[in-house]
Amino acid sequence: MANEAKDMKRRDLLKMIGATAGGFALYNSMMAFGMLNKSDFNGAPNLTNAPKGSTVLILGAGLAGLVAAYELKKAGYKVKILDFNDRVGGRAWSLRGGDEYTELGGYTQKCEFAEGQYLNPGPWRIPYHHQGYLHYAREFGVQMQPFQQVNQNAYLHNSNAFGGKPQRYREIFSDFRGHTNELLAKSINQNNLDDSITKENKEMLLEALKEWGALDKNYRYTGETGSHYRGWATPAGATHDAIPSTPLNFDDVLSSNLWSALNMHFNIEYASTMFQPVGGMDQLPKAIAKDLMSDIQLSSKVIEINQDDKGVKVTYVDMADGDKEKVETAEWCVCTIPFSVLAQIKNNLSRKVKDGIAAVHYATSFKAGVQFKRRFWEEDEQIYGGITFTDLDIGQISYPSDQYFSKGPGVVLAAYQFGINSFDFSARTPENRLAKVMDDFVKIHPQAKEEFDNGISVAWHRNPGTLGCYGLWTDTTREKHFKDVSTMDNRVVLAGEHVSYIPAWQEGAILSSLEAIRQLNDRASKK
């Protein structure tokens, strides 16, 4: 009972954090609760003693399924992949001009982006320590480029602070740091820390605070010293010197709550350097699939999975062939179907595995990409990549980390939300969603109203292939079910980000896939 109570409180707390502070605060809280973890990738698996020609059916052509197929085929297995979508990649997906997307409920959107523009509605950045992903990017020659996570010229915004005016990240960061260092310096100079610091260390600490906090010789944070960090009221020019800016009042900085976003960029999940594939997040799955296409059958909706001591039989609907029911068989099966969907598919997996599948709920998420006629965030506001955080319903704005200084249109991730706010957007029609996104967006960037061109949105719990964004585990469900769902069940082994300790990341999918095929090969090589 004690564990259940703790779990309920944690779940309720995360729901509250997501509803009130947005996605970035929710992610930070998940990290604090141990729900996000660093990758332990140490190389591709050595599938020794693989029985040559043994058959493996893989359900899902996302990264977990594609990596499994690539490594198993390399080891000598015969593989076949079935996937629900009409493309490879799963959630590693990029929407481009001409693409059409139909969600549950029947809404169909057509992407009208200009050539070369795209939106990553699912994963959109790669941490430097996700070495599994970067290993396969190197292996398949997928060009990577820096993803600009933090940009000190982007904005932090609270509609109830500073008259609703967005503040530059550098201003909040510098003023919060400067004011707090001034307070600490005062405390030291008043000998309030004598019991815990030596005279020599006191002098060194004061000097460090002066440097770190941009304090003057009297240990005060002022515009004269702070402008080197927060920016100038008027920058220096050919005919005049710079005019210092005035720091924000410390009480206003604290009450704005904007400081709560400052620490995110030091979190290991978001710390520099982050990457993105050049040209869209679907580049790696497309590269892996290139030599597997003869083994991949798309538009295939799995409706039943049965196994016995001799093999696995999967019944599916071929949506590209008049919705005919067909059957595929193999000796083994790697199933990467999200648990949100797998729980609704008839199967004869063991009772404990079924219970584990049913126990994992899926987070919702909403993204909207908007194409503007010109890159006004660069031209007018000198924002090159990075993220703006706001308490408005859109949550986050991410500016493109590529095609800098280019003329013509550009696509901005104009909204990114989780939880309650995500449901609020997804309950609307696509047209109404974009109207709501733009209502919020122009409060950050007023010129956006005149520059709007077109947009598209994805509500992940309305995606028929996933029914959600990523798997949500709790301490209680992990303790009770994770071992069961991550251990091979006779001839079927499960894989995907939801079968890992790195949920929501492609790295989790890759590591889970490698562990799954290791188990499969161990079992198959002993038959």
pLDDT of residue 187: 85
First to last CA, the chain: 43
CA distances from 324 to 129, 302, 342, 402 (A): 44, 12, 20, 44
249: Cβ contacts below 8 Å, ≥ 6 apart = none
Query: How far is Cα 112 from Cα 118, in angstroms, rounded to an integer?
Result: 10
Taking residues 21-46, what's their average pLDDT?
58
Query: How far is Cα 166 from Cα 443, in angstroms, rounded to an integer?
Result: 8
**pLDDT greater than 60 at residue 501:** yes
**pLDDT greater than 90 at residue 90:** yes
Whole-prediction pTM? 0.89
Residue with structure tokens 């206003």?
252
Beta pairing, strands 274-277 & 144-147 = antiparallel
pLDDT of residue 419: 84
pLDDT of residue 37: 59
pLDDT of residue 12: 56
Taking residues 275-303, what's their average pLDDT?
98
pLDDT grade for 421, boundaries at 50, 70 and 90: confident
Taking residues 264-285, what's their average pLDDT?
90
Q: Is the dihedral of CA 191, 194, 197, 201 positive or negative?
A: positive
**pLDDT greater than 60 at residue 198:** yes
**β-bridge mates for residue 496, sequence order:** none
Taking residues 69-96, what's their average pLDDT?
98
pLDDT of residue 199: 79
Query: How far is Cα 402 from Cα 145, in angstroms, rounded to an integer?
Result: 8
Query: How far is Cα 19 from Cα 17, in angstroms, rounded to an integer?
Result: 5
Q: Which tokens hold the place of 489? A: 């069940």
- Which domains, and CATH codes, for the chain? 48-89+286-362+469-524 (3.50.50.60), 95-153+272-281+365-462 (3.90.660.10), 168-248 (1.20.1440.240)
pLDDT of residue 270: 81
In the chain, what percentage of residues exceed pLDDT 70? 92
**β-bridge mates for residue 459, sequence order:** 366
Task: Write the secondary structure of 186-200 as one string of H (helix), E (strand) and C (coil).
Answer: HHHHCCCCHHHCCHH
Instruction: Specify the range with the lowest mean pLDDT, choosing from 193-202, 271-280, 358-367, 465-474.
Output: 193-202
Query: How far is Cα 467 from Cα 509, in angstroms, rounded to an integer?
Result: 17
pLDDT of residue 333: 98
Neighbours of 44 (CB within 10 A): 15
Q: Which of these, 365, 369, 461, lies nearest to 103 by C-alpha position?
A: 461
**pLDDT greater than 50 at residue 375:** yes
* Contact status, residue 338 vs residue 471, Cβ threshold 8 Å: yes
pLDDT of residue 31: 42
Query: How far is Cα 201 from Cα 181, in angstroms, rounded to an integer?
Result: 16
CA angle 321, 322, 325 (to 5 degrees): 80
Taking residues 126-151, what's their average pLDDT?
96
In the chain, what percentage of residues exceed pLDDT 90? 80
pLDDT of residue 39: 75
345: Cβ contacts below 8 Å, ≥ 6 apart = 302, 303, 304, 305, 337
Q: Output phi, psi for 170, to 5 deg.
A: -65, -30
Q: Which tokens hold the place of 54? A: 């043994």
pLDDT grade for 73, boundaries at 50, 70 and 90: very high
Q: Which of these, 320, 286, 423, lies nearest to 365 by C-alpha position?
A: 423
Q: Output phi, psi for 46, to 5 deg.
A: -100, 95
pLDDT of residue 40: 80
pLDDT of residue 38: 64
**pLDDT greater than 80 at residue 192:** no
What crossing angle do the helices spanning 169-189 and 223-230 adopt, rounded to 10°?
140
**pLDDT greater than 70 at residue 69:** yes
**pLDDT greater than 70 at residue 83:** yes
Query: How far is Cα 355 from Cα 408, in angstroms, rounded to an integer?
Result: 53
pLDDT grade for 190, boundaries at 50, 70 and 90: confident
Q: Which tokens hold the place of 393? A: 């319903």
**pLDDT greater than 80 at residue 191:** no
**pLDDT greater than 50 at residue 6:** no
Query: How far is Cα 288 from Cα 282, in angstroms, rounded to an integer?
Result: 10
Supply the mean pLDDT for the chain: 91
Q: Is the dihedral of CA 385, 386, 392, 395 positive or negative?
A: positive
